[in-house]
Amino acid sequence: MHDDVTSATINPYRMAVQQFDIAAERLGLSEDMREILRQPKRELAVNFPVRLDNGRIKTFTGYRIQHNVNRGPAKGGIRYSPDVTLDEVRALAMWMTWKCAVVGIPFGGAKGGVICDPKQMTPAELERMTRRYATEISIVIGPHSDIPAPDVNTNSQVMAWIMDTYSMHEGFSIPAVVTGKPLSIGGSEGRNDATATGVLFVTRQGAQRLGMPLRGARVSIQGFGNAGSVAARLFHNEGCKIVAVSDTRGGIYNESGLDPAAVLRHKQERGSVVGFPGAQQVRVQDVLEVPCDILVPAATEGVITAANADRVQATIIAEAANGPTTPEADVLLFKKGRMVIPDILANAGGVTVSYFEWVQDLQSFFWGVDEITKRLEVIMTRAFESVAERADQYHCDMRLAANMLAISRVAEATQIRGIYP
């Protein structure tokens, strides 16, 4: 196994625009429409001071970007990481627009991020930073304009702080301003597992199309956070064998299968999956290349590139992460007959249950988990079939098919609303 191009060398926005251009070309979209959809509608950058526990003041930089709102209010997560860049947030906002369109939920796309290292911050510092960032972006977010959610290194607690901050400014509680909240303040049943549940639903459809039984299938997962660790549990429950998982510190591999619950306990105690007893230590990138039937990238962008795509052994690549595969790698994987279930389809379960949460908050009437899961399955299965049929029709990979479907829906909405004034 080899060292590779890392995500640090990939510009996600360039990648997103490249993917857009390929789909726009195939759709025969007008140059005017391409220009509208290729760039974000609104970009907010904020620099704001936060008092640290030691009394010093540190200035953080954050972003909130709305790519397109023609189909409904902007929707998208907030990421905390030292690696956040403006171009990364732009790309993630654009992917959110296509994601909401591909599953047919009435949202546009947005994303936010703060350049910070949450692992080096105390809970009190994290709370002050979150509340100040929420205040800074409160000029663009709102239950009818732009609704944030968790993403890398943010969670339901962070969402609770944002909801509370926004509500304090308005003078009354506004739960619908964010999704992914704790249940006690208007969160939805099923939201924690939603992204991974959606990944499982579309993978099941994909496997069925290929005549591959899920029971006994070997699964490798990159990233063991919200999306990855839950995917490990759900695929395991479905009878799959989880052969490898990883986090930022490294990976573990066991061809006989890992017990996801035990790995999670190990990670909670030691801070990493690394060192899990009875497993072989591998490097972060290696989990992409181990012998397996299903690969679930669930970490970050640009990890499957032209440099390593040939070494990916999985038959199905189900993208829980956003943007894990570069356009060059897509071409190589398609040539090899691999089924890549693209991010905007595969991980759309998260935003779909976020949509359910928003609807429940607005009407103050809440559904049970069975209803949530049933509705999610209908939406994910329908979206998968629409994309797979289009891929067959155009003899193209599922990313191009999904992008074509999504972009045509957004273009139609843009066209029919007309250009103001």
- Does position 156 interact with ligand NAD (CB under 6 A)? The reply is no
- Does position 70 interact with ligand NAD (CB under 6 A)? The reply is no
Q: Which stretch binds ligand NAD (CB under 6 A): 55-63, 121-129, 298-306, 404-412?
A: 298-306
Q: Considering the complex, what minimum distance in angstroms separates the CB of residue 107 from ligand NAD?
A: 13
Binding residues for ligand NAD, how many (CB under 6 A)? 25
- Does position 260 interact with ligand NAD (CB under 6 A)? The reply is no
Longest dimension (CA), the chain: 66
Indicate which single residue of 159, 177, 299, 388 sits in contact with ligand NAD (rule: CB under 6 A). Answer: 299
111 in catalytic set:
yes
Indicate which single residue of 13, 166, 224, 358 sits in contact with ligand NAD (rule: CB under 6 A). Answer: 224
* Active-site position among 41, 111, 181, 241: 111
In this structure, the strands spanning 241-247 and 250-253 are: antiparallel
- Does position 334 interact with ligand NAD (CB under 6 A)? The reply is no
Q: Considering the complex, what minimum distance in angstroms separates the CB of residue 32 from ligand NAD?
A: 31
Indicate which single residue of 109, 113, 148, 228 sits in contact with ligand NAD (rule: CB under 6 A). Answer: 228
The whole-angstrom separation of Cα 267 and Cα 223 is 12
Q: Which tokens sit at 125?
A: 């510092």
Q: Considering the complex, what minimum distance in angstroms separates the CB of residue 226 from ligand NAD?
A: 4
Q: Among residues 65, 128, 73, which one has the least CA distance to residue 91?
A: 65
Query: Cα torsion at 83, 85, 89, 94 (round to 10°)?
Result: -120
Using a 10 angstrom Cβ sphere, with 0-12 exposed, 13-18 middle and 19 or more buried, the burial of residue 61 is middle
- Does position 244 interact with ligand NAD (CB under 6 A)? The reply is no
Cβ 311 vs Cβ 2: under 8 Å:
yes
Query: Cα torsion at 341, 347, 349, 355 (round to 10°)?
Result: -130
Quick count: other Cβ atoms within 10 Å of Cβ 223?
26
Q: Among residues 320, 225, 238, 300, which one has the least CA distance to residue 264?
A: 225
Would you say 254 or 352 has its CB closer to ligand NAD? Answer: 352
Q: Which stretch binds ligand NAD (CB under 6 A): 15-23, 235-243, 317-325, 400-408?
A: 317-325
Would you say 195 or 254 has its CB closer to ligand NAD? Answer: 195
Indicate which single residue of 12, 113, 148, 350 sits in contact with ligand NAD (rule: CB under 6 A). Answer: 350
Q: Which stretch binds ligand NAD (CB under 6 A): 59-67, 161-169, 217-225, 364-372?
A: 217-225
- Does position 226 interact with ligand NAD (CB under 6 A)? The reply is yes
Would you say 78 or 141 has its CB closer to ligand NAD? Answer: 78
Quick count: other Cβ atoms within 10 Å of Cβ 22?
17
- Does position 300 interact with ligand NAD (CB under 6 A)? The reply is yes
Q: Among residues 224, 246, 230, 221, which one has the least CA distance to residue 195?
A: 230
Q: Considering the complex, what minimum distance in angstroms separates the CB of residue 413 from ligand NAD?
A: 22
The whole-angstrom separation of Cα 326 and Cα 264 is 29
Helix, strand, coil percent content, the chain, rounded in steps of 5: 50, 20, 35
The whole-angstrom separation of Cα 264 and Cα 205 is 27
- Does position 113 interact with ligand NAD (CB under 6 A)? The reply is no
Interface residues with ligand NAD (CB under 6 A)?
7, 150-153, 195, 222-228, 246-248, 284, 298-300, 320-322, 347, 350
Catalytic sites, residue numbers: 111
